[in-house]
Chain A
């Protein structure tokens, strides 16, 4: 899932202080799990802004709201009339949600209420770790299920650098060396010899380097269009 983290309230205040009606809009999927931007967190942020406004003697109306997802219209469409009553939407969804909603709110700006950090997992309650970088061409079958792109500080493809120290990355004692983990895991799986092959330079065009990406499922697009057409013809007969 997508992991987010809270922004300092000072930064949020700088964003919102010149608006009169602010909606803090939470997203109840990924960012709720990581306690960054669900409806509960949206409520907290809204009250922090209200307190600050009071301290600064600003007249502001600040409310909160939450929907299941900001990345699919069917979830926020039902509340769009309500959303459009505000001067500013502070979305605590991930960056995807902020972008997506912002494209659909006309004159009303949508600002980011959290920092979107990475694709990760819940290692332990309150501990979230980055495990994939969405490179668009997965090679986990070659690296024992451990991603060198997301988890090696240098995205090395052919084994560890010289900086591995006691299983930790040269960048910090708090970061596991991905290649140390890969070697150990592949030993356990009995597939270590796979690592002897030199992996040639990658084609990064499947990742962000190829420009913004899109996945289109032809069969679903075709079905949707058919249905739309059916509906249109049915309507015509009436």
Chain B
């Protein structure tokens, strides 16, 4: 075992892994993290604790991850390259490991301009760091863990043992380069990969075919991303505005159909769309897991953590494997 994390054990066991996501609050409300952690505990093998997602200031991933751990939920701490240089990154990795964290997902992070979207003021005038990029951060974690060395070469008496993750957007531009992108992350040392949300199963499968030809599915554990859709509007928005996500018309039509069934009743329209969203989610989970080379799913129910229990059960992925 590289890290001994629960996620690593599940993946090593060969059973399909399930990860979920927990978004920390925009205030010092630790109770909110506990509440969400309790909703997820037992229904996933580990939960990503986002690191100031969309560049919005929230409880730090490490702090929220430790709270989750106290609640008995295994966290995947996240680290963006946006906010820290390699000095702060390594300091936080050492700290995270010392606090008992065993999984870390490395990501570039959304640009700070995203923080001012919608009603939020955010911090679009912030300076970004990008001292290192995702591939380089993955390499730093691997060097720390496997060679017991800091990036600069100084020895680590106690090495941080992380199960190292990275994200992958299989269908973003330039599409034919995306497999190389994944290969670089794997070569740098990514033990597991969580993909961007998949709705276009055909597109994903054709990328996975290339991945299998390259043998990458055997060198890293690919967890297919599932974003739980809540409404026709959300699907349309993701289709038009989220990079690397395209939503087949048939799925949008399905949502529109149930919405229309509710007529003028807004509450009913919402409920029916949510129910359809859960059905779509379970179908997507099956389709992703049936894709050769996939080792699990990463389910994101954004600000809807309570949905995870039902989804995991309906998908036949409950109970989750337990190890002692």
Chain A positions near chain B (C-beta within 8 angstroms):
153-167, 170-172, 177, 179-180, 183-184, 192, 195-196, 198-202, 204
Contact = CB atoms under 8 A, between A and B. Distances in A.
Contacts of B244: 162, 164-165
Contacts of B114: 170
B135 interface: yes
**Secondary structure of the A contact surface, majority rule:** loop
Interface string B104-119: 0000111101100000
B110 A159 contact: no
A162 B177 contact: no
B169 A200 contact: no
A180 to B, nearest CB: 6
- Smallest CB-CB A-B distances: 3 pairs: A162-B169, A158-B135, A165-B243
Interface residues on B, range: 35 or more
B136 A157 contact: yes
Nearest to A195: B180
B183 interface: yes
B21 to A, nearest CB: 15
B111 A170 contact: yes
B184 A167 contact: no
A219 B318 CA distance: 75
Contacts of A162: 108, 167-169, 172, 196, 243-244
Nearest to B137: A201
B128 interface: yes
Contact of A159 (B132, B184, B243): B184
Contact of A196 (B113, B140, B184): B184
Given A163-B243, A171-B113, A200 B139 contact: yes
Contacts of B169: 162
25 contacts: A153-B111, A154-B109, A154-B128, A154-B130, A156-B133, A156-B134, A157-B136, A160-B172, A161-B134, A162-B172, A162-B244, A163-B110, A163-B111, A165-B244, A170-B111, A177-B173, A195-B180, A196-B183, A198-B136, A198-B184, A198-B187, A198-B188, A200-B139, A201-B139, A202-B132
